[in-house]
A and B are shown apart, each in its own frame.
Chain A
Amino acid sequence: MQLFRYSTSIYGGSDVLIGASWDLLKWFVVAGAVIIVLHAAVKAVTSAAG
């Protein structure tokens, strides 16, 4: 998994950084889902425990 996007330099030098990798997009969505599920689970357990 790449963290960044690069483009090849037209002058033949090293690759040029052009931004964040969009492969990470799904992981930010997964992070949101994990936070929501964990919070809902903790709330459900603590409510059931009284």
Chain B
Amino acid sequence: MPQRTLFEKIWDSHVVCSGPQDSRILYIDLHLVHEVTSPQAFEGLRVAGRNVRRPELTVATLDHNIPTTGNRFVIEDALARTQVETLRHNCREFGVRLFDLDSPEQGIVHVIGPELALTQPGLTIVCGDSHTSTHGAFGALAFGIGTSEVEHVLATQCLVQKKPKTMLVHFAGALGNGVTSKDMILGLIAQIGTDGATGHVVEYAGEAVRALSMEARMTICNMSIEAGARAGMIAPDETTFTYLRGRRFAPQGAAWDQAEEYWRGLSTDSGAKFDATVEISAAQLAPFVTWGTNPGMSAPVTAAVPDPAQAADESERNGMIRALEYMGLRPRTRIEDIAVDRVFIGSCTNARLEDIRAAARVIRGYKISDRVQGMVVPGSQNVKREAEREGLDKVFVAAGFEWRESGCSMCLGMNADKLGPGQRCASTSNRNFEGRQGAGGRTHLVSPAMAAAAAVAGHFVDIRGWEYRD
């Protein structure tokens, strides 16, 4: 057997047979489903008289559309309510497990999968959601699909795929204090662009990656799609096994031993070849803040908004001019001089317990700025309960933040949580596209600690100089 990458090992072990032309029929171990991208797929099954092939490998949750306020069981938006009811109905009809709003384990699909250990090394995992790449942090092959493909997986437990290319992103050295995995991925996208990894499955490696917790690894893999990647993955290690052991759907007893032995073989062989390689010095990364309208438009917090006059070509210059106009920013404004109106701590990128803790540590002993409205939306009911057990909700509320129920919330503003036109937000989410958080809203992507510090200061500040009061 030639030397293989982690991706190739998982790919090879899931090819059922050749499909038409250059395609392969790939087996899917876990299919995650949410209310927004699934109704047309279930309807397609009904119209064709087809069934869900493996309902026990299919898991659904409600996350995109739901309110995050106190009584979230009452959904006032009629369309959202219909979509929620439709998923409930579909799960009942086809026998799919649903983590509904009254479940103590409901949450954002990419938060609860890992939390419940549905996500495991070596699996193929898909979901009608581009941030499915999150699950690659466990050494799984996980990627987002469209609704037609959702229907295909429901009916066949397989996907017809062409083998993607491979890319190694190597983070050498160690991260500085106050620099997080959010800054690693923003730094990568700034370097290679939002299409830098198109067509590739990225493996993240190097000392700085090995040192990360599972939560931090999920943040990197989550935003792989923002570099255009098909998927992102990190080889499993002791950190992975320690995280998974004892969780609800993790193998137990002898099955665990068998699984762990298999998982330990899931790393790239030395000498295996990648189609592309990117080298990044982790030690040189600073906390990043996006200034534009895609995740590649970012700068270190110590820098300034760039000048379109310095753009490499006309197309880039036009893009920058458009972005700065939308964002209401002038070239060469210092990042630290940008004032914010809203702060959003949430999303499948950064709403896990470690993220909530990092933000709370910054906030403790402070009040948020009078001009800022702050909101914390835990990624799941588990995260919320655990944070409350640690008293973190009280830290946020004392500082002036709202403490909400779990869901996708203002990451994409499908529910009532939205930016108003012109409002500027420091957000721990993943996309700063025009209108993403609300029509006319202006999003700056940052790490949880950077978002918390911006809430207190009323503008961006370098978290590396923060005076903690704990």
Answer yes or no: do A and B interact.
Answer: no
